[in-house]
Amino acid sequence: MDITPDTASRTHSPRTCGVYQIYNKASGKSYVGATMTFAVRWTRHRSELRHGKHPNVHLQRAWSLYGEAAFEFRVLCLCSVGDLGDREAVLIAQHKALNWQNGYNHRLQVGEWVQLSQETRDKMSRAQQGKKDSEETRQRKSIALTGHPVTEETRAKLRSAGKRRGISAETGAKISAANTGKKRTEATKAKMRVAATGRVLSEETKEKIRQANLGKKASQEARAKMSAARQGRKMSDETRAKIRAAATGRVLSEETKEKIRQARLKRIALRKQENEPVDQPRMTLPFQ
């Protein structure tokens, strides 16, 4: 049975579950959470905050700024385990703890023992629809999450959620514009190569990539980079066979044939300058 915060603070036991609040008396901000053991949860929060290792960076910085004496632990309500999720969501909203101006919550923390009702999920979804963070809020979130490690399990969940959600054309255009001209570091490129190694693209994905690149012309700088990347690279027999099969029956225009001829003449001239023997083409493609 639910009881008032004042009554709960006098009667709750270490094994009672419910929703609690870490209240900053100096600023009026609060962190709201749910637990099955108030005493254990508060001890853990306090230990992490005292040692400067609390996962909530926003709360940790406030603790370091105002000092331990400015914070107090309050029991907001007692409830059954089955109601924890709904009660936590309602009280987080009631105390506006997800708003950085009023609280320290970054997101709704839901444990494995918490089951949110569909009604509560719908309310949370409607409350977030159309909401846009200001630049200041985005900056604060960015600072708070800087250096925050993300587990592989969390990464997998984010990838799965992104695949289900999809991206609108408008969002895709914004992402494309944001990445245009962006220079990636060598470390980032190396990570991307490692992540892509062994990845097998579906035929549908290949077709999407092909359609996206139709009519697109690479700049001279991009062509030079691609040429340099291919220098000295040896193709496997399997790759050669795939290229041969893809080219079978393809009819080249006179313009394309001339480009191929000019490119070969350039390679021959380059090898002569480097005093390398000019051999015959390593592979003859069955163009018609």
Q: Would 172 be classed as within a structural domain? A: no
Q: Would 182 be classed as within a structural domain? A: no
Statement to judge: residues 126 and 256 lie in one domain: no
What domain count does the chain have?
A: 2
Select the more confidently predicted residue: 4 or 210: 210
- Work out the average pLDDT over 223-250: 82
Task: Please give the pLDDT value at position 287.
Answer: 46
Of the three residues 100, 131, 151, the one that is the final residue of a domain is 151
Determine the structural domain holding residue 60 and report its residue range: 5-151
CA-CA distance, 130 to 174, in Å (whole number)?
17
Of the three residues 151, 168, 195, the one that is the final residue of a domain is 151
pLDDT digits (tens, 9 = 90+) for 97-138: 988 888 999 876 555 445 556 776 777 677 777 777 777 777
- Work out the average pLDDT over 226-252: 82
Residue partners of 248: CB distance under 8 A and separation at least 6? 286
Statement to judge: residues 54 and 146 lie in one domain: yes
pTM recorded for the entire structure: 0.40
DSSP track, 106-135: SS----TT----HHHHHHHHHHHTT----H
Predicted confidence (pLDDT) at residue 275 exceeds the cutoff of 70:
no
pLDDT digits (tens, 9 = 90+) for 49-101: 999 999 999 999 999 999 999 999 999 999 888 888 888 888 998 999 988 88
Question: What sign results for the dihedral spanned by CA atoms 51, 32, 37, 112?
Answer: negative
Task: Please give the pLDDT value at position 4.
Answer: 39
Query: Are the beta carbons of 27 and 65 closer than 8 angstroms?
Result: no
Task: Please give the pLDDT value at position 140.
Answer: 72
Query: Are the beta carbons of 85 and 110 closer than 8 angstroms?
Result: yes
